[in-house]
Amino acid sequence: MDNQLSLWQLVANASFIVQLVMLLLLSASVISWMIIFQRGSVFSAAKKARLAFEERFWSGMDLGQLYRDVNAAPDTNSGLETIFRAGFKEFGRLRQQGNAEADAVMEGTQRAMRVAVARETERLEAHLPFLATVGSTSPYVGLFGTVWGIMNSFRGLAQMHQATIATVAPGISEALVATAMGLFAAIPAVIAYNRYSARVDALANAYETFADEFSSILHRNVHSEEKRK
C-alpha cells in the first residue's frame, strides 16, 4: 500500500491530462525560482551601487570630474549613475548651444533624467509580471488537474460493483497532487513578487529623489552663471 501511494507512483499512475498539468506547474515553479534568484542578485547589486554612488556624489567631488570618471568606467548596476550621466550630458549639451535660456536648459535636463528613471525602473521590473502570473494562476491550474483527476476516478468507480477506501484513495491522491504542486508553485512566486515590487518602489523613489536633488544643484549653477553674465 505504501508503495502504491508513494509520490512518484501517484504521478506515474495519473492520467495524461493530470500529468501534463503537473509538468506545466513544475516548469513554472523552476522558472519562478530562477527568476527569484536572478532578481535577488539584481536588487542586491542595485542597492549596493546606489549607496556607493551616493557616497561619491555627496563627497564634494567636482561634478565634471565625477562625470568623466563614471563615463570611463560605467557601472551597469547603478541606476543613480545612469541618471547622473543622462542629466549631466544633456545639461552640458544644452549649455554649449550658447543661446539656450536657463529654464530651457533645466527643462531638457529634467526630461533626460525622467527618461533615465523610467528606463531604470523598467529594468528593475523585468520578469516580475511572470511571477505575478504564476502566483495568481497556478492554484487554478492545479485545481483543474485535481478536478480532472477526480472526475476520472469517479468514472472508474462507476464500473466497479463495490467501491472501498482502498480503491478510491489512490485516484483521489493522484488528483490532489496537482493542487499541491499548484500551491508549491504559487506561494514562493507571490511572496517574491510582493517583496520585489516593494524593492522596486523603494529604488524608484530613491532615483526620483536623486534626480530632483541633482536638478536643484544644476538649477543653482545655471542661474548663478546667468547672473554673472
More confident residue, 146 or 32: 32
User: Of 60, 88, 93, which Cα lies nearest the Cα of 74?
Assistant: 88
* Residue 184 confidence (pLDDT) above 90: yes
Domain layout of the chain by residue ranges: 7-228
The closest of 203, 165, 193, 176 to 39, measured between CA atoms, is: 193
> Rounded CA gap, 126 and 115, in Å?
17
Has residue 2 got a pLDDT over 70? Answer: no
Please tell me the least confidently modeled range out of 39-43, 59-63, 67-71, 204-208.
59-63
CB 12 within 8 A of CB 170: no
Span 69-128, pLDDT tens digits: 999 988 888 999 999 999 999 998 888 876 767 788 889 999 999 999 999 999 999 999
What band does 224 get if pLDDT is binned at 50, 70 and 90? Answer: low
Identify the residue with better confidence: 227 or 65: 65
User: What angle (nearest 5°) sits at the alpha carbon of residue 54, between those of residues 94 and 75?
Assistant: 75
Convert 133-168 to b/e letters by CB count within 10 Å (16 or more is b): ebbebbbebbbbbbebbbebbeeeeeeeeeeeeeeb
Convert the pLDDT of each residue in 4-53 to its tens digit. 456 666 666 667 888 888 899 999 999 999 999 999 999 999 999 999 99
Q: What is the pLDDT of residue 61?
A: 84
